[in-house]
Structure 1
Amino acid sequence: MAAQALARLPAAGAVPGGMAFEPKYDGYRLLVFAHDGEVFLQSRNLWDLTGAFPEIAEAAAALGEDVVLDGEVVIHTGGRLDFSALQQRMNRRPATTARLAVEQPAHFIAFDLLEHAGSDMLTWPYAERRAVLTSLFQSHDLHAPWQLTPATEDRALAERWLTEWGGLGVEGVVAKGAHQPYQPGQRRWFKIRARDTAEAIVGAVTGPVTRPNALLLGRYTRGGRLRLVARTSPLPLALRDEIGALLTPADPGHPWWGMRLTVTWGSREPLAFTCVVPELVVEFLGDTAIDASRWRHSVRAQRTRTDLTPRDVSTVD
């Protein structure tokens, strides 16, 4: 089951029967299938991740229960969730994966129970599935690598999660109807991302320089190299004209000249872009999914900051 994006928490009564709120984590979505001691870990893209997270597979086999659990696999580094550490688990040799599992162990944060002891629970209301999931954790006294996600019906508490937990790697909040069944493939939940404003330098654009469609944003490293940190979503029409009037096409000496980018994450289609003189600073709105100072998801350009120069923008490592 998936979620549709909202700009803010849904109003009370948006879903009949009330809502529950859960944190949205910066990890890999994972289904855990455990039957008769056999375990299979499946990603949302139907990839087999059993070998990538042996500590989760071993814990599921030792559970002694026939279950199908839905949740998120995460890795903690320095007090926050570390998405790049998850990526290091992909396509590794078993010996390397075993070493990483010891050095940076993964945790499985469970937020739904789809099958238990032979009972298919997809048609059960969320509140009932949650009650059985909570009972499962309590009866087995589950601890690491298991974690039960917090859940609340308190909208004010969910608002605090959005503002207070972003620095820990929590991307936002998911709102679920208390009476909703589990509907695979359907976007019937709601997700609200935690967002913050920041500044960066326009280093390149897609579309015409005089009226760009989107921006490629950079920040300088301490060594003076302009590094790509974010891409914007399509610009509002009024902002396209304003930004286009302030840009100058760059010559081949631009640091991004010849850089190869793809249209989307995981795509092989090259992105066509034009480098511009890196002198315009813009303010943007981005979520908390940041890896090594780079925003993984598209950000939203808010306004130009002609009061700032590139030297005023924070540097990156």
Structure 2
Amino acid sequence: MTWTLPEPMLAAPVPDPALLPGWAAEPKWDGWRALVSVEAGRVVLRSRRGANLVASFPEIKSGSRQLPDATALDGELIVWESGRLAFERLQGRLQQRGAGAAHLAAEWPAHFVAFDLLRLAGTNTTAWPYRQRRAALQDLFTKHKLTTPWALCPSTTDPDTVREWLTWASVGMEGVVFKRLDDAYRPSRGWQKYKVRETMEAIVGAVTGSLTAPRSLLLGRYDDDRRLQYTGRTTTLTRTASASVAGLLAPAQQGHPWTGWSFSAGWGSRETVNVTLVEPELVVEVGVDVARDASGRWRHPARLHRARPDLSPTDVPRWTSPPH
């Protein structure tokens, strides 16, 4: 009977980064969740949603020769570029096969950061407690001297180490994941995750919905050439937040800097969304996580904290693109 990969174990968000007794912590990587299995020369590389990734990542397929037969790992596909996690280099990989995939693998090779062991040389390890799976995963890396594209995810039970990891936002580390030491691996949200968030100011340049009842805000910042650059959008506003912001918005005047622009329904989506342009005068304070695209835009929706009518657009920090 052929062994199949289980559904991935997931993490529920928590508001506090404190490491509790009986739990371990791991860095939360800004990449693609993936599960890999090797058996009798066959390699399976599956995304969290079940997509087959093996043809798109030939460097992982070739690297699977380092693993013992009938072994499976859970982890994250990542790409490093210029000292940071470059999530955007993973985009487009699913559309590449053959020579195209090989070219991207050579130019921006992906690494598989392993953080859990699901099977070891034919033994199903998912019923083992995390502490036992972790020890076996470390032994796997040591015994077989695994090298690129494989990397072992750090794990700790030291709160000071967790606090240090939370300072790694500048390289694109999203936060930390917490795992109970005695828990088995199961397809549920038994893990926990804490995402680093930053408070920032931005200028409202457009809204979804209407001026009288905005559903979300499209945000921007001026660059050094006084061009209003789009930075991201907020989550759906509550009724209270919508009403409070609506009274501070003014209809766009002729010559709005975003006239003629189209906006996607979400990062990486080809679907566009209808927006209403507003005069770029209102400053708002938002909370964002550390995930950015190649141009520095926020990949995930920002959370509106409050409007700042006491600030002018000139008070908002300038838009700066990340170095390449």
TM-score normalised by the chain length of structure 2 = 0.88
For 1:9, the equivalent position in structure 2 comes to: 17
CA distance in 2, matches of 1:10, 1:189: 14
For 1:193, the equivalent position in structure 2 comes to: 195
Q: Is the 8 A contact 2:177 2:191 kept in 1?
A: yes
For 2:212, the equivalent position in structure 1 comes to: 210
Unaligned regions of 5+ residues in structure 2, if any?
1-8
Q: Is the 8 A contact 1:219 1:316 kept in 2?
A: no
Q: Is the 8 A contact 1:210 1:245 kept in 2?
A: yes
CA distance in 2, matches of 1:142, 1:228: 43
Q: Map of 1:80-159 to 2, 5 A cutoff?
A: 80-159=84-163
The CA deviation at 1:148 is 0.4
- Per-residue displacement from partner, 1:237-268 (whole Å, max 9, x unpaired)? 54433322221021464343454445445667
Question: Quick check: 1:296 aligned with 2:304?
Answer: no
Question: Secondary structure, in 3 states, of the residue corresponding to 1:181?
Answer: coil
- 1:183 is aligned, of 186, 197, 215, to 186
The one-letter code of the counterpart of 1:21 is: A
Q: Is the 8 A contact 2:85 2:171 kept in 1?
A: yes
Give percent identity, aligned residues only.
46
- Per-residue displacement from partner, 1:19-64 (whole Å, max 9, x unpaired)? 1100000001011111122212111111111121111111113334
The one-letter code of the counterpart of 2:251 is: P
For 2:41, the equivalent position in structure 1 comes to: 37
The one-letter code of the counterpart of 2:313 is: P
The CA deviation at 1:149 is 0.5
Q: Is the 8 A contact 2:129 2:184 kept in 1?
A: yes
CA distance in 2, matches of 1:267, 1:99: 24
For 2:83, the equivalent position in structure 1 comes to: 79
The CA deviation at 1:285 is 0.9
CA distance in 2, matches of 1:95, 1:179: 45
Question: Quick check: 1:49 aligned with 2:57?
Answer: no
Question: Secondary structure, in 3 states, of the residue corresponding to 1:235?
Answer: coil
Question: Secondary structure, in 3 states, of the residue corresponding to 1:290?
Answer: coil
Question: Secondary structure, in 3 states, of the residue corresponding to 1:90?
Answer: helix
The one-letter code of the counterpart of 2:198 is: D
For 2:172, the equivalent position in structure 1 comes to: 169
The one-letter code of the counterpart of 2:209 is: G
CA distance in 2, matches of 1:247, 1:134: 56
CA distance in 1, matches of 2:232, 2:185: 35
CA distance in 1, matches of 2:164, 2:310: 32
The one-letter code of the counterpart of 2:228 is: L
Q: Map of 1:225-244 to 2, 5 A cutoff?
A: 225-244=227-246
Unaligned regions of 5+ residues in structure 1, if any?
none
